[in-house]
Chain A
Amino acid sequence: GAVVSQHPSWVICKSGTSVKIECRSLDFQATTMFWYRQFPKQSLMLMATSNEGSKATYEQGVEKDKFLINHASLTLSTLTVTSAHPEDSSFYICSARGTSGGDSSEQFFGPGTRLTVL
């Protein structure tokens, strides 16, 4: 299957700082990328959907000014958590959907980024 990478794998930061997470599709062009957040023992929660070259669509309750998403190319999307606070500590996972090989409906997941805000 297609490969999606995320960087960093984990990050610890102080409250009030901003953190950028990168999501890359390594061997296909991702027309759409999704950002999820997952708290312990809970299911994935979709935060936003981004299409290359256009503004992201945020789910209800997700602050777009706090979680900045940029999908500047067909292989890269970034999520920036601005002014992070301890309640933002979570597991952030990106997924990508493209049309290269296989079923175009399938989403390919990155390995996730564990964010801990002190």
Chain B
Amino acid sequence: GQNIDQPTEMTATEGAIVQINCTYQTSGFNGLFWYQQHAGEAPTFLSYNVLDGLEEKGRFSSFLSRSKGYSYLLLKELQMKDSASYLCAVLDSNYQLIWGAGTKLIIKP
């Protein structure tokens, strides 16, 4: 079966750095997405990785290792507004998005 695993909840301090991990087992791979979702809102796109390595975009970076079926989202200089759920999703061989359950990130002052 297809499976995406990510931690249910994480807590971090304002100004710090946090890494959210995602491991996946899917039928085929056409890329991995990270989305941010605030409560009661639709997801918003953060990053897309299809090749191995690190993609940096401002305070957010995303890493992918296809051989390990592993990705992480790195958030630097955390701000209170970063409190949200972070969803990992993999595009499978049929170009369907397989979603993780999301990681709820709580930022404390």
Q: A interface vs B, CB < 8 Å?
A: 1, 34, 42-46, 49, 91, 93, 103, 105-112, 114
Contacts and interface: CB of A to CB of B under 8 A. Distances in A.
Interface residues of B, number: 21
B48 A105 contact: yes
A34 B96 CA distance: 10
A46 B45 contact: no
B87 interface: yes
Interface of B is mostly: loop
Contact of A109 (B31, B42, B96, B102): B42
A10 B66 CA distance: 40
A106 B99 contact: no
A46 B48 contact: no
Interface of B: 30-31, 33, 35, 40-45, 48, 50, 87, 91, 95-97, 99-102
Contact of A44 (B45, B50, B87): B87
Given A105-B48, A106-B48, A111 B97 contact: no
25 contacts: A1-B45, A42-B101, A43-B87, A43-B101, A44-B87, A46-B96, A46-B97, A49-B96, A91-B40, A93-B43, A103-B31, A105-B31, A105-B48, A105-B95, A106-B45, A107-B97, A108-B45, A109-B35, A109-B43, A109-B44, A109-B45, A111-B41, A111-B42, A112-B40, A114-B40
A91 to B, nearest CB: 8
B31 A112 contact: no
A99 to B, nearest CB: 12
A112 B40 CA distance: 9
B99 to A, nearest CB: 5
A43 B88 CA distance: 10
